[in-house]
């Protein structure tokens, strides 16, 4: 698998969430994603960036443009050093929320992408990786 | 401070969201709009989201909140102009915007609002749904 581009952006404020959306859109266009695919990955990025900010108390996102054979994809890895998620299975259920949202952030994002991976350690932080392939 | 403009259109208020909404802006709109519904004695609110490239759960919740608040203030809300890709993504995300009426464009939204208001007038002021 070849990495065409690889960058890291901070998530420290609500303006950064908007920026993550814009960058994800740009990169999805660069990877010639269809409009629906662009919309899905940008929406998932927005949900996860907000999680990083609100639950992880800020962090960063690594964005990678990938190519595997003729397949092109985008991978986003959200990393925070926040309190972590004590019960991952529960956090992945629709409607489960500890904040003031609707509890669709994790479960909804998972449905919008092809690959989804999450690691969390109480007191150390959370890492969420998503990828969408065209 | 940046704000989303609210236009008065007869008995209705029209909000055209033309910028990429950050969270604070969405919260400000909620406050501004409820204030204007009361001040202008509006019977309906049209939210034009045709410029929005995405609607995530936060923006979706904000739209739902506005519709609920407007209903309590005796006004109906119609969301108009949702892009097809946004609709597809919203449903997969698991957000179905319950209680929010939608129309394809502003003209149809106005017709829908007029219909709602007439219905309510005939039903002696009972609010439907």
Among chain A residues, CA nearest to B19: A18
Q: Tell whether domain A2-133 is in CATH 3.30.565.10.
A: yes
Are B22 and A94 within 8 A, CB to CB? no
Is B41 within the bounds of a domain? Answer: yes
Q: Is A57 on the interface with B (CB under 8 A)?
A: no
Which pLDDT tens digits describe chain A residue by residue (134 residues)?
Answer: 899 999 999 999 989 999 999 999 999 999 999 999 999 999 999 999 999 999 999 999 999 999 999 999 999 999 999 999 888 888 888 776 665 555 668 999 999 999 999 999 999 999 999 999 99
Q: What is the mean pLDDT of residues B65-81?
A: 94
Are B85 and A25 within 8 A, CB to CB? no
Task: Assess whether pLDDT exceeds 60 at residue B75.
Answer: yes
Give the pLDDT confidence of B31-43 residue by residue, as tens digits.
999 999 999 999 9
Is B129 within the bounds of a domain? Answer: no
Predicted local confidence at residue B3, as pLDDT: 86
Task: Assess whether pLDDT exceeds 80 at residue B126.
Answer: no
Predicted local confidence at residue B27, as pLDDT: 86
Among chain A residues, CA nearest to B94: A108
Is B128 within the bounds of a domain? Answer: no
B76: containing domain = 6-122
Is B29 within the bounds of a domain? Answer: yes
Which of A101, A104, A106 is the best residue to mutate to test the B interface, defined by the most B CB atoms within 10 Å of its own CB? A104
Predicted local confidence at residue B97, as pLDDT: 86
The pLDDT-based confidence of B124 (bands split at 50, 70, 90) is low
Contacts of B24 in chain A (CB under 8 A): 14
Strand partners, A121: A125
Note whether B13 and B7 are within 8 A (CB): yes
Give the SS3 label for residue A103: coil
Give the pLDDT confidence of B107-120 residue by residue, as tens digits.
999 999 999 888 88
CA B44/CA B112 separation, integer angstroms: 10
Compare CB distances from A39 to B22, B23, B53 and report the shortest one's residue. B53
Q: What is the mean pLDDT of residues B41-70?
A: 93
Task: Give the count of domains, chain B.
Answer: 1
Task: Assess whether pLDDT exceeds 90 at residue B74.
Answer: yes
CA A107/CA A91 separation, integer angstroms: 8
Helix, strand, coil shares of chain B, percent, nearest 5, are 45, 15, 35
Predicted local confidence at residue B34, as pLDDT: 94
Mean pLDDT score across all residues of chain B: 90
First to last CA, chain A: 15
Are B89 and A112 within 8 A, CB to CB? yes
Give the pLDDT confidence of B78-115 residue by residue, as tens digits.
999 999 999 999 999 998 888 899 999 999 999 999 99
Beta-carbon pairs below 8 A across chains A and B? 70
Predicted local confidence at residue A97, as pLDDT: 67
CATH of the domain at B15: 3.30.750.24
Contacts of B49 in chain A (CB under 8 A): none
Note whether A59 and A33 are within 8 A (CB): no
Percent of chain B exceeding pLDDT 90 equals 67
Predicted local confidence at residue B52, as pLDDT: 93
CA B76/CA B96 separation, integer angstroms: 18
DSSP strands (E only) in B17-117: 44-48, 76-80, 101-103
Predicted local confidence at residue A101, as pLDDT: 58
CA B33/CA B13 separation, integer angstroms: 9
Within 10 angstroms of residue B54's Cβ, the number of other Cβ atoms is: 26
């Amino acid at each position: 698998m070849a990495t065409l581009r690889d960058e890291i952006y901070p998530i420290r404020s609500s303006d950064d969430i908007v920026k993550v959306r814009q960058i994800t859109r740009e990169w999805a266009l660069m990877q010639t994603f269809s409009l629906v695919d662009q919309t899905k990955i940008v929406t998932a990025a927005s949900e996860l960036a907000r999680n990083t900010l609100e639950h992880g108390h800020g962090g960063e996102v690594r964005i990678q443009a990938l190519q595997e054979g003729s397949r092109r994809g985008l991978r986003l890895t959200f990393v925070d050093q926040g309190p972590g998620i004590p019960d991952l299975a529960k956090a992945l259920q629709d409607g489960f929320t500890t904040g003031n949202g609707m509890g669709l952030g994790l479960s909804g994002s998972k449905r919008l992408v092809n690959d989804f991976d999450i690691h969390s350690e109480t007191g150390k932080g959370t890492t969420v990786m998503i990828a969408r392939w065209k | 401070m940046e704000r989303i403009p609210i236009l008065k259109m007869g008995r209705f208020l029209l909000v055209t969201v033309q910028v990429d909404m950050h969270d604070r802006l969405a919260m400000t709109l909620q406050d501004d709009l409820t204030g204007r519904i009361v001040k202008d004695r509006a019977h309906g609110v049209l939210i034009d989201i045709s410029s929005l490239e995405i609607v995530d759960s936060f923006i979706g919740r904000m739209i739902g909140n506005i519709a609920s608040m407007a209903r309590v203030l005796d006004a109906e809300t119609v969301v108009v102009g949702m892009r097809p890709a946004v609709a597809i993504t919203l449903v997969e995300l698991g957000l179905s915007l319950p209680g929010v009426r939608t129309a394809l464009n502003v003209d149809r939204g106005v017709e829908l609002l007029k219909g709602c208001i007439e219905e309510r007038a005939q039903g002696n002021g009972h609010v439907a749904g």
